[in-house]
Each structure stands twice: as C-alpha cells, then as structure tokens.
C-alpha cells in the first residue's frame, strides 16, 4: 500500500529551522497504513530536511554551523550568473539533502524521545513550502 | 511485505565509528524478504549513519573532517542552556543524518566491494544504541 | 511491487557533478510501477548523490564548498596507509552519502521545477559508475 500526503509550511528563509514532526505524524495517522516507512520530501533546491533536538540552543548551533559550512558573504558563481543572491542557499540545500526516510510501527514514528524532524529553509526570502509525505507499508 | 528488526551496539561516543554491515546483513537474511530496501535508522539526536571504506585510515580521516566541521572546543548555545556539554554532538548528527536506505536483491545488499555501513556515535559519553532496520519488499 | 533497474555513467572524477535526472526518470517510466518511491544508489565509497539546480554557477559553487569541507591538499591517513591518493574522496563521499530516495506519482518524480538529481564522483580518476534505481510501489 502507498499513500501520498502533503502539507504546507510558511518560513522566513535564511536558515529558518521549523519542527514539522507533528505534521508528519498526523499524515501517517490519517493514512490507512500502520507499519512502514515515510519519505518526507521537500521539492525545490533551496531547502533541506534533517532531525534535531528542537530546542533554541541546538537550533542556533545548527544555524551557525551551516553558516560556517557555506557562508552567506563569500562569492557564489550562481549569483554572478543569475543575480538572485541565493547561491549560498543552493549549496546549503545540496549539502543537507531534502529527503528523509523514517520507519513507523502502529502509526507511530520510531524517533528518539528528543528527536524532531525539521525543515531547514535556506532561501533568501520568506517561502511557502509544500512538504510531501510518501507513505509505504501495510 | 514489511518487517521491523533491531539490534544493539555499544559505543564509546566522541565520534566512535563502528562497522554495522554484518548486523544489517543478518537482519535482512533473517527476514522473509528477498528483494527490496532496508532503512537503517538510529533513534536519537546525537548519532548518524553513513557508508565508508572501513579501514583505520579512512575512519581517522572522517573523524578529523567531522571535528573541523563542528569543532568540539567552540561555544555551543545548547551547552549554555542545558549544561550537558554535547552541543557539538547534536550539530554533527543533524549534519550527517541518522537514516540510510540501501537496496538489496536475493537477500544481499547492493553495496560496493569496499563499502561498509557505519554508525557514528557523536555523543560525549559511551552509549548503548538500538538500531532499527525497517525492511520493505517481496 | 518492486523493480531493480540500473544504468551506467562515465565520469571524470575530481568532484565531477553530473545530472542523472533523465536516466532515473526513464527507469521509473520503464518499470510497471506508477506510484511509489525510487531509491537512487551509487555502490562504492568515493561517490555521492544529492539534488541541485543544475546550472554551471551552482555546480561550481557546490564543488568549491566540497573542496573547503574536505580539501584535497591536506594530509589523509588513508593515503599514508594505502598510497592511492584518494583519501579526500572517501571523506567527501561519507559526508554526502550515496543514497537518495525520491517519491513519484503517475510515473513522474515529485521534484521541484529547478531541481535535478546529481551524481558527484569524488574519486581521483575517471570512473564508470553503475547506478541502481530500486523502485517500490504499486
């Protein structure tokens, strides 16, 4: 069995990190599938998905780490060619990846107690993101 | 068809990198599924899973690269707030990701000859980790 | 239902970044599966798979970012032990990861408009890479 479900998230961009665990949980619950995997996927090339203990300290630490990994204030060829100023966003998204697969049993994801699924929006402006949850199982 | 299997691994923390390929292989073999995908998943927010040629040189190189990516000796807001001293662990785990999906046919994973699945425990103390293998296929 | 499909890609190595979206699309179309997930997997420990807006600026930016993350000209223990000079390749591949799972409906992947799936070959010589597409769904 397979079900495709979606939800929308508004972001501020600039490495906005948003807890989407509850949304994913609801989509799995609402599906007719009790055991399987859910692939959480953000279409687009300026956002990523990972997991984090979602508390303000770790959120701030991850943002600073990403800033060191692909700084906003260095030269990007993408910007020189296209002038949209989000070369850093593209690099950050490619390094993190926008697909995350999580197992679930009895409609409950098998995450750790202090582990949340987070959307990281790396674009240089507020965005509305459509998140896909592709659910496979029985 | 779907099967959820688990195994336990003891680690030393501090970027302990452990070859878990044999464990995953055994869980796939022991399942009734011959062709499909296995999602190898470590619950928690201070560990990651990836692949590596598991020899001491590459293990050491990966550990040093992770140390440069999120150094242990810089300031982390997580530590300032919670005092548990593992802010670097959280950042490293979020950057690597704790979910890895591998295809298999005839109960054999389709890995390269010198490619192993590794658990990276980034926490700042020894841990016992429960690893999930969610197996889907036929 | 499950189908295993493969295709081959020639690369130049040294962080050669190649758009493989069309290949993956053809393999999904050629399968008998209309809705599901495809796990795109590169066997081996010196290559990775991610997504990117595939234009020369962003490609160049990602390559430079990877060069900063795991520079080619620093010491690697892997090289000291094995003398094959591709220690940087192993580290880059472990950090990026070689497995990417993408959802599809009606045989079309649910990628963003300017989002391509890319193979990144980090080895230090030209390679011929066999890419696996493990397709699950109905």
B87 in any annotated domain: yes
Per the CB < 8 A criterion, the answer to whether B87 and B79 are in contact is: yes
Could you tell me the pTM of the whole model? 0.98
A37, two tokens: 């995997």
d(CA B97, CA B120): 10
Per the CB < 8 A criterion, the answer to whether B58 and C87 are in contact is: yes
Q: Mark yes or no for CB contact B61/C134 under 8 Å.
A: no
Which of B108, B121, B112, B6 minimizes the C-alpha distance to B59?
B121
Neighbours of chain C (3+ CB pairs under 8 A): A, B
- Other Cβ atoms closer than 10 A to A74: 13
| DSSP letters spanning B98-119 | SEEEEEEETTEE---TT-EEEE
HEC sequence for chain C: CEEEEEEEEEECCCCEEEECHHHHHHHHHHCCCCCEEEEEECCCCCEEEEEECCCHHHHHHHHHHHHHHCCCCCCCHHHHHHCCCCHHHHHHHHHHCCEEEEEEECCEECCCCCCEEEEEECCCCCEEEEEEEEEEEC
d(CA B136, CA B33): 7
C39, two tokens: 């796990």
Q: Mark yes or no for CB contact C45/B112 under 8 Å.
A: yes
Q: Mark yes or no for CB contact A90/C65 under 8 Å.
A: no
Averaged pLDDT score across all residues of chain B: 98
For chain C, what is the radius of gyration of the CA atoms?
Answer: 16
B21, two tokens: 């390929």
What is the DSSP secondary structure assignment for residue A40, as one 8-state letter? E
Nearest to B76 among A56, A61, A102 (CB): A61
Residues B80-98 have pLDDT tens digits of 999 999 999 999 999 999 9
Sequence-distant (6+) residues with CB within 8 A of B28 are B38, B104, B107, B109, B133, B135
Residues in C whose CB is inside 8 Å of some CB of B read 1-2, 4, 39, 41, 43-45, 69-70, 76-82, 87, 90-91, 93-95, 97-99, 101, 132, 134, 136
Residues C21-44 have pLDDT tens digits of 999 999 999 999 999 999 999 999
For residue C2, the model assigns a pLDDT of 97
B76 in any annotated domain: yes
Structural domain count of chain A:
1
Cα dihedral: B13, A68, C79, B118 (round 10): 40
How many residue pairs from chains B and C have C-beta atoms closer than 8 A?
Answer: 97
Residue C73: pLDDT band with limits 50, 70, 90: very high
B3 in any annotated domain: no
Q: Which helix (H) or strand (E) holds A8?
A: strand A2-11
Q: What is the mean predicted confidence (pLDDT) over C86-100?
A: 98
Q: C94 to chain A: nearest residue by CA?
A: A95
**What separation in angstroms does the CA of C45 have from each of A74, B58, B121, C90, C93?**
30, 10, 20, 6, 6
d(CA A81, CA A76): 9
For residue A19, the model assigns a pLDDT of 98
Question: Could you say which residues of chain B have pLDDT below 70?
Answer: none
C133, two tokens: 């597409």
Phi, psi torsion values for A60, nearest 5 degrees: -65, -40
d(CA A118, CA B118): 23
Domain extent at residue C80:
2-137
Question: ipTM exceeding 0.95?
Answer: yes
d(CA A97, CA B49): 14
Averaged pLDDT score across all residues of chain C: 98
Report the gap between the CA of A8 and the closest CA in chain B (Å): 23
What CATH number does residue A102 fall under?
2.60.120.460
Identify the three-state secondary structure at position A27.
helix
d(CA C62, CA A52): 24
Residues in A whose CB is inside 8 Å of some CB of B read 35-37, 50-53, 55-58, 60-62, 65, 69, 96-97, 100-103, 105, 110-112, 114-116, 118, 136-138
Which of A100, A92, A53 minimizes the C-alpha distance to A76?
A92
Nearest to A65 among B39, B43, B95 (CB): B95
Provide the residue-wise pLDDT of chain A in tens; the chain has 138 residues: 999 999 999 999 999 999 999 999 999 999 999 999 999 999 999 999 999 999 999 999 999 999 999 999 999 999 999 999 999 999 999 999 999 999 999 999 999 999 999 999 999 999 999 999 999 999
Residues of B in contact with A100 (CB under 8 A): 97, 99
Q: Mark yes or no for CB contact A57/B77 under 8 Å.
A: yes
């Amino acid at each position: 069995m397979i079900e495709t479900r979606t939800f929308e998230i508004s972001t501020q961009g600039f490495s906005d990190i948003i807890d989407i665990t509850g949304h994913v949980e609801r989509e799995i619950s609402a599906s007719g599938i009790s055991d399987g995997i859910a692939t959480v996927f953000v279409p687009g090339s300026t956002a990523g998905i990972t997991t984090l203990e979602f508390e303000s300290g770790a959120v701030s630490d991850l943002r600073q780490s990403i800033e060191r990994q692909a700084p906003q204030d260095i030269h990007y060829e993408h910007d020189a060619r296209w002038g949209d100023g989000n070369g850093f966003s593209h690099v950050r998204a490619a390094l993190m990846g926008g697909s995350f697969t999580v197992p679930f049993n009895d409609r409950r994801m098998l995450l750790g107690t202090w582990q949340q699924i987070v959307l990281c929006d790396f674009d240089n402006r507020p965005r509305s993101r459509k998140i896909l949850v592709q659910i496979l199982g029985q």
